[in-house]
Amino acid sequence: MHFRVLYPPLVCVTPPTTSVSPVATTFQGQAALDQVNNSSYWDTFTFNPIRESTVSRAMTTRYFADLNEYAESDVVIIGAGSCGLSTAYMLAKDRPDLKIAIIEASVSPGGGAWLGGQLFSAMVMRKPAEKFLDEINVPYEDEGDYVVVKHAALFTSTLLSKVISFPNVKLFNATAVEDLITRKEADGTIRVAGVVTNWTLVSMHHDDQSCMDPNTINARVVISTTGHDGPFGAFSVKRLVSMGSLEKLGGMRGLDMQTAEDAIVKNTREVTPGLVVGGMELAEIDGANRMGPTFGAMALSGVKAAQETQTALQSIPRYVDDFMASWPQREVIVGDTIRVEPLRREHSNDLATFLAGRENAGMWTYFVEGPYEDTEEFEKAIDEKIRSEDPAFYVIVLKQTGKAVGCLSYLNINREFRSIEVGFVLFSPDLKRSKAATEAQYLFAKNAFESLGYRRYQWRCHSLNTPSRNAALRLGFTFEGILRQDTIQKGRNRDTAFHSILDKEWPATKAVFEAWLDKTNFDQNGNQRKSLNQLRNEL
């Protein structure tokens, strides 16, 4: 479900219920559960051994890796209250290519959404905010114009668990934002370009300690959802006034639920270039009323903030780190059913069975080279390919038989711009339209993005080569267009069709590949249950 069409109200859909035991799910199967429930299990129970330094390294290596990874983010969200978490959920779900950092001053994220009003348990949301509850599968009681969640903690814990489960989100809690990074644009306007951070405890003791310089995170867009005025509240908008980007704050007015929630959602916006503001922080800018213990506007302001952010991102190119991709190494890439390994002389006999000889001439119709009717000529071509660095040639070997059944190559390798092409795709009849063929394409792409560090993974083919163009689309490549009269091939004009996968698209493409390759996607006869396109539409 997408919230691009959430406001105004949609028809309510009751969240599905489940009868699966949480305990059974935890222990993954009845046999394991029976073992744990057996009293004798606890008589000999012990944890696996560990050394204290191992624990220390497990934490620190991961945390500092996260600091390094998110030092350059697409989006930074200040404040992990109900609005900030709702924003993070919608952004991370709709845009898996975005790198999203959440900065929360408290040890415990969630802001004031762990309880309702005056420390009461229940949470009230006016309609149409129940649509967001449906989206994250939080049950509620329908009271007509509003709904009630039995405990606010159910909403917050569910939302929080979903947000931090996204692979493109990192929550830095116990961390305060002390300032905003700004840049002067060509027209003289000031753009917010990131945040200045410090440990919260350090921020609280600047008056009585020293040597407390901060850290920084660059971002294309900053989203501030720090709440109304308070110790850390309305931080960003107060800073805008002190730096001269806003003349003054309107100041939050008294409580009026009827008008407050509409005003907060409608006015969620980019208040200055690079800074989107949502939630109760807006009331301090606009002089809107406070709403008290009703939380619908917090969730829907988060939804709108995500939309406003996506609009803002369109005008801000992503910063590209200044490093060169790696040259493809002549290493074996191992999968479940196949190996992709560098081309060697001993592969030539296997390859000749489907690439050499007059009977295989049709394999070379759309290639610059070939056909090879003579075995000696074919082996000479293999020797040349073994020595080649660009293209770098590989073969696909079935693990079960050790037989080479296909070819791939990396070519047009540009380490500086981090662009690489997959080509020389030639599959034997045994490999075509098989699970192994798709696995080979997955492994080759994964290696290019994750091991070698390329930004663009390209697929080119003759515009008349319909099977190749269809294969590119099936595998998740985006068709970019046709370069007319690109070259002359075997005495004939060639128009070239271009396709690509970008690094920002790879996480979603990878998820589709892995869902398709999962053994549960195949029946006992090895037939797929869902196609790549079906899974792509679902995921």
* Confidence at 306, pLDDT banded by 50, 70, 90: very high
What Rg value do the Cα atoms of the chain yield, rounded? 28
Provide the CATH topology of domain 333-538.
Answer: Aminopeptidase (3.40.630)
What lies within 8 Å, CB to CB, of 36 at 6+ separation is 27
What value does the mean pLDDT take over residues 348-360?
A: 91
Is residue 291 part of an annotated ligand binding site? yes
End-to-end CA distance of the chain: 11
Neighbours of 505 (CB within 10 A): 17
Is residue 92 part of an annotated ligand binding site? no
What is the reported pLDDT for 228? Answer: 80
Is residue 213 part of an annotated ligand binding site? yes
Q: Is the pLDDT of residue 95 over 60?
A: yes
What value does the mean pLDDT take over residues 249-278?
A: 94
ω into residue 429 within 30 of 0, thus cis? no
* pLDDT tens, position by position, 475-490: 999 999 999 999 999 9
What lies within 8 Å, CB to CB, of 233 at 6+ separation is 226, 227, 280, 281
Q: If you ran DSSP here, which 8-state letter would residue 20 be given? A: -
Average pLDDT taken over every residue of the chain: 90
Tell me the C-alpha distance between 342 and 167, whole Å: 32
Do 333-538 and 62-315 fall under one CATH topology? no
Q: Is 166 helix (H, G, I), strand (E, B) or coil?
A: coil
What is the reported pLDDT for 22? Answer: 41
Q: What are phi and psi of 171, to 5 degrees?
A: -100, 120
Q: Is 13 helix (H, G, I), strand (E, B) or coil?
A: coil
What is the reported pLDDT for 13? Answer: 42
Is residue 83 part of an annotated ligand binding site? yes
166-202: b (≥16 Cβ within 10 Å) or e: bebbbbbbebbbbbbbbeeeeeeebbbbbbebbbbeb
What lies within 8 Å, CB to CB, of 379 at 6+ separation is 348, 352
CB 162 within 8 A of CB 89: yes
283-313: b (≥16 Cβ within 10 Å) or e: bbbbebbebbbbbbbbbbbbbbbbbbbbebb
What is the reported pLDDT for 1? Answer: 44
Closest CA to 343 of 404, 401, 398, 399: 404
CB 310 within 8 A of CB 276: no
Q: Is the pLDDT of residue 23 over 50?
A: no
Residue type, 300: L
What lies within 8 Å, CB to CB, of 330 at 6+ separation is 342, 392
* pLDDT tens, position by position, 379-401: 999 999 999 999 999 999 999 99
pTM over 0.75: no
What is the reported pLDDT for 249? Answer: 87
Is residue 12 part of an annotated ligand binding site? no
Q: Is the pLDDT of residue 39 over 90?
A: no
Tell me the C-alpha distance between 206 and 196, whole Å: 15
Strand partners, 483: 496
Closest CA to 351 of 401, 426, 410, 436: 426
CB 338 within 8 A of CB 399: yes
Strand partners, 342: 394
* pLDDT tens, position by position, 161-176: 999 999 999 999 999 9
Q: Is 346 exposed, middle or buried (0-12, 13-18, 19+ CB in 10 A)?
A: exposed
* Confidence at 29, pLDDT banded by 50, 70, 90: low
Closest CA to 236 of 183, 185, 280, 277: 277
ω into residue 8 within 30 of 0, thus cis? yes
What is the reported pLDDT for 34? Answer: 72
Q: Is the pLDDT of residue 20 over 90?
A: no
Tell me the C-alpha distance between 506 and 450, whole Å: 9
Query: Which range, of 89-103, 221-235, 284-298, 302-316, averages the lowest pLDDT?
Result: 221-235
Taking each helix axis as running N to C, give the angle between helix 152-165 and helix 82-94, from 0 to 180 degrees, rounded to the nearest 10. 40
HEC string for 351-398: HHHHHECHHHHHHHCCCCCCCECCHHHHHHHHHHHHHCCCCEEEEEEE
* pLDDT tens, position by position, 62-84: 999 999 999 999 999 999 999 99
CB 304 within 8 A of CB 264: no
Residue ranges of domains in the chain: 62-315, 333-538
Q: If you ran DSSP here, which 8-state letter would residue 282 be given? A: H
Is residue 280 part of an annotated ligand binding site? yes
ω into residue 371 within 30 of 0, thus cis? yes
What value does the mean pLDDT take over residues 348-369?
A: 91
Query: Which range, of 229-233, 457-461, 496-500, averages the lowest pLDDT?
Result: 229-233
Q: Is the pLDDT of residue 16 over 60?
A: no
* Confidence at 42, pLDDT banded by 50, 70, 90: confident
Strands 123-126 and 269-272: unpaired
Tell me the C-alpha distance between 425 and 415, whole Å: 22
What is the reported pLDDT for 28? Answer: 57
Query: Which range, of 15-24, 462-471, 478-487, 525-534, averages the lowest pLDDT?
Result: 15-24
What is the reported pLDDT for 318? Answer: 78
Q: If you ran DSSP here, which 8-state letter would residue 522 be given? A: B
Neighbours of 427 (CB within 10 A): 20
Q: Is 405 exposed, middle or buried (0-12, 13-18, 19+ CB in 10 A)?
A: buried
* CATH placement of domain 62-315: 3.50.50.60
What value does the mean pLDDT take over residues 127-134?
A: 97
